[in-house]
Amino acid sequence: MTSIECLPGGTVGGSIRVPGDKSISHRSIILSSIAQGTSHISGFLQGEDSLNTLKAFQSMGVSIEREGTRVIVHGVGLHGLNKPDKSLDMGNSGTAMRLLLGLLAGQSFDSTLVGDKSLSQRPMKRVIEPLQAMGARIESQFGYTAPLNVSGMSKLNAINYPTPMASAQVKSCLLLAALYAEGESVIVEPAVTRDHTERMLRGFGCQVISHDRQVRIQGHQQLSATEIEVPADISSAAFFLVAASIATRTELTLEHVGVNPTRTGVIDILRLMGADITLLNQRDIGGEPVADIRVRSASLQGIHIPEELVPLAIDEFPVIFIAAACAQGETLLSGAGELRVKESDRIEVMAQGLSALGVQLEPRPDGIKIFGGPMAGGVINSHGDHRIAMAFSIASIAASESIRIEDCANVDTSFPGFVDLAAGAGIKISIHA
């Protein structure tokens, strides 16, 4: 089983570029595939999650050429996908499974979605129920979890749906299904979540009206091919934002990072803790804001994390917990129950790992209280969760002894090359098969 070994005393400095944004990479393949014409994508994330999405569309008859991070997709139009020969394997990716479910619900052919052990345990009721309300036929042998069988449909009905949880995956699933529905669909979220689907649909020429927490879309709109430049993933950059903050006397620049305001909660939270983070060269690339991010070491303070920032930083909490463990005083997170249904139960798995390093904490159903203080070394089980493995690699900068992290192969789902990039920046890290 793959493990990561980190020695204490590492740092990070210089200038680095992390791989492409995972959320945008998934969406670039999905929307280019159902567009008319040939789309060109650059900066595509070559991680297992987004590659599974790419393979799924190839097996539905879309011709896709890829050379590293450059992808050319020959779109087949809204109704041009073919029935796949076998089940579509979404691996570890909740985004791929939930977004594809919405798209497949509107196809005329039957299909089956499967995933790995972690994905097969993740909740799908949140997407199955509203899709069924639109008229979709979806069955699962085990209640509301994968494998999921989708029956071909001739038409879906539009939906007016308040999503019970703040989830961009649920919103995006319904937006994709809504493209195949009669009339206008309206989705209202309890809190604003990442809006990459809405922005990219507009880039493909669709009309999508967003106002505050509400999104409206008319069915049967045709998408026209376009060019997409995927920025570096702020969720991957987040590991280095924390690394540079907790290291001593250093400065690091992260290049060309996507800074869409629905994703920058991690910057806001770290700044509230006292981090020294500056956005440089802010620009707009294909409808998504991008910047270089400069981070300098800082002395971090514990805070009560504002609940409105939780959906805007939902994937970054594993490494934010490391920042909290290195801060002076207590950090309190609440309103983050969604962390329990990610690739692992991230509250439980982080609590176990931090406790193994001697950090004092109190887990709660919807969050955690972490008491900042010294960190020892130890052995961590990442439970196959990529972000847990990377978060504890960053902890080694502040730990007094070495940290071994087990079950790390899934780092490749979102951040291929993490170990080499981290080692090059100054972290004392190595990988062992």
Quickly count helices (H) and strands (E) in the chain.
13, 25
Query: Toward ligand S3P, which CB reaches closer, 179 or 427?
Result: 179
Query: Toward ligand S3P, which CB reaches closer, 99 or 206?
Result: 99
Q: Which residues are within 8 A (CB) of 12 and not within 5 positions of it... i.e. 6 or more apart?
A: 240, 243, 244, 247, 250, 252, 397, 422, 425, 426, 427
Q: How far is residue 184's CA from residue 127's CA, in Å, rounded to a whole number?
A: 18
Name the token pair of 132. Answer: 């069924």
Q: Work out how close the CB of 94 gets to ligand S3P at its nearest, in angstroms, rounded to a whole number.
A: 6
Query: Toward ligand S3P, which CB reaches closer, 12 or 319?
Result: 319
Stretch 167-226 residues interacting with ligand S3P (CB under 6 A): 167-169, 172, 194
Confirm or reject binding of residue 95 to ligand S3P (CB under 6 A).
yes
Stretch 47-66 residues interacting with ligand S3P (CB under 6 A): none
Q: Using DSSP, state whether 346 is helix, strand or coil.
A: helix
Name the token pair of 237. Answer: 């950059």
Query: Toward ligand S3P, which CB reaches closer, 45 or 73?
Result: 45
Site string for ligand S3P, 301-320 (x = CB under 6 A): -------------xx-----
Q: Residue 54, CB half-sphere, CA atoms under 13 Å: how many?
A: 24
DSSP H/E element including 420? helix 418-425
Spatial CA neighbour of 426 closest among 394, 401, 403: 394
Q: Work out how close the CB of 275 gets to ligand S3P at its nearest, in angstroms, rounded to a whole number.
A: 22
| Binding span for ligand S3P by CB under 6 A among 162-170, 206-214, 247-255, 272-280 | 162-170
Spatial CA neighbour of 348 closest among 377, 390, 381, 309: 381
Catalytic: which of 89, 315, 385, 412?
A: 315
Q: How many CB atoms lie within 10 A of CB 376?
A: 14
Spatial CA neighbour of 149 closest among 106, 90, 101, 81: 101
Q: Work out how close the CB of 337 gets to ligand S3P at its nearest, in angstroms, rounded to a whole number.
A: 11
Confirm or reject binding of residue 387 to ligand S3P (CB under 6 A).
no
Residues making up the chain, counted from first to last: 433
Site string for ligand S3P, 112-131 (x = CB under 6 A): --------------------
Would residue 315 show up in a list of annotated catalytic residues for this protein? yes
Interface residue with ligand S3P among 3, 23, 32, 226 (CB under 6 A) is: 23
Q: Work out how close the CB of 428 gets to ligand S3P at its nearest, in angstroms, rounded to a whole number.
A: 28
Query: Toward ligand S3P, which CB reaches closer, 95 or 245?
Result: 95
| Binding span for ligand S3P by CB under 6 A among 165-173, 207-215, 259-267, 328-336 | 165-173
Stretch 230-269 residues interacting with ligand S3P (CB under 6 A): none
CA angle 30, 33, 34 (to 5 degrees): 95
Q: Please list the active-site residues.
A: 315
Residues interacting with ligand S3P, by CB under 6 A? 23, 95, 167-169, 172, 194, 314-315, 338
